[in-house]
Amino acid sequence: MLASLGDPYTRFLSPAEFSKMARYDMTGIGINLREIPDDNGVMKLKVLGLILDGPAHSAGVRQGDELLSINGVDVKGKSAFEASSMLQGPSETFVNVMVKHGNCGPVQSIRVQRQSIAKSPVFYRLEQVKNSSSPVGYVRLKEFNALARKDMLTAMKRLQDMGASYFVLDLRDNLGGLVQAGIEIAKLFLNKGETVTYTVGRDPLSVKNIVAETSPLFSAPIIVLVNKNTASASEIVATALHDNCKAVLVGERTYGKGLIQSVFELNDGSGVVVTIGKYVTPKHMDINGNGVDPDFRNLPAWNEVTRYLSTCQRPQEG
């Protein structure tokens, strides 16, 4: 019945699957799987992306690897969601995954320790730019977890105190996470009343806008680095800053995932995950399935950035 909706993200959860999703001590290994057909039409599970320095990445799993088995169980014929559920378990326990590196690379068995402890997703440093007296603050945001806003705020303030007059926000390979964390981070840079994102419900006329409630804490020009694995909450932040003329986007077209989902429990302990809406950029562009194109493919000079932002047209409200 759910398949008839034509939405791959709306799905049924058995009681066991729903229980796993509901338990706070259940966690995975930080990978994003996708079903990809080979030349013969046979579906294979490929690692679309990894959380940088997450459990799988640290253990040796790489982007593009094919997942062959989990704890000795062949995953052939299983969906990405089924495989992801098999990877989940209590924090600090181990799971054995068999992967094939690349299309024809070696097969490797890797033991990965599950983690649920929120680690700081922020890395930052001050960089001196050639032919410039003003240093640049570089901030890499790996994922949007419970610590993201607090650590982002700390990093930006420290870099500002160290003399940074421009900033580079690196969202490459950031697959998302807590959407609310992304929204709160975007608000750090927006003027009061500016739109972070719109949410559109099942009824196209049911549109709500999420706006910044206070003045921005940071107003310096920003370069946001993006690539094909910049997804979900990352795309919300990137487009909020871009559309409100606070930042330019540099790199590759983003992934294109902007769905709002709710989880409902049924009487027998099973559940359903249902897509109930989507996020739309301040300039009314649908992220989902489209992604966002960058302004520059390669890193521009800062005078190009300031010139671009000075001619940027802000979105019309409504």
Banded model confidence at residue 10, pLDDT cuts 50, 70, 90: confident
Query: Could you read off the pLDDT of 279-309 as tens digits, one per residue?
Result: 999 999 999 999 999 999 999 999 999 999 9
Residue 231 CA to residue 176 CA, distance in Å, equals: 6
User: What mean pLDDT is predicted for residues 84-106?
Assistant: 88
Least-confidence region, from 6-10, 11-15, 65-69:
6-10
Torsion on CA atoms 128, 252, 231, 47, rounded to nearest 10 = -100
Residue 310 CA to residue 288 CA, distance in Å, equals: 29
Quote the DSSP letter at residue 301: P
Quote the DSSP letter at residue 250: E
| Site of tokens 């409504």 | 318
Torsion on CA atoms 230, 231, 237, 243, rounded to nearest 10 = 80
The candidate with the shortest Cα–Cα distance to 57, out of 81, 84, 26, 30, is: 30
pLDDT at 53: 73
Quote the DSSP letter at residue 5: G
SS3 293: coil
Residue 27 CA to residue 136 CA, distance in Å, equals: 36
Query: Could you read off the pLDDT of 146-159 as tens digits, one per residue?
Result: 789 999 999 999 99
**Helix (H) or strand (E) run with residue 254 in it:** none
Residue 36 CA to residue 80 CA, distance in Å, equals: 10
Mean pLDDT of the chain: 88
Quote the DSSP letter at residue 132: -
Share of the chain above pLDDT 90, in %: 56
Catalytic entry in 20, 78, 187, 257: 257
Query: Could you read off the pLDDT of 243-271 as tens digits, one per residue?
Result: 999 999 999 999 999 988 777 888 898 88
Q: Is 175 left (phi over 0), alpha (psi -120 to 50) or beta?
A: alpha
Q: Is 232 a catalytic residue?
A: yes
pLDDT at 36 over 90: no
| Tokens, residue 270 | 């099973």
Contact 197, 179 (CB under 8 A): no
pTM to 2 decimal places: 0.70
The candidate with the shortest Cα–Cα distance to 62, out of 84, 31, 28, is: 31
SS3 306: helix
For 164, what's the count of Cα atoms within 13 Å in the CB-facing half-sphere?
A: 24
pLDDT at 117 over 90: no
Least-confidence region, from 24-33, 123-132, 208-217, 257-266:
24-33
Catalytic entry in 232, 234, 246, 278: 232
Q: Is 257 a catalytic residue?
A: yes
pLDDT at 193: 96
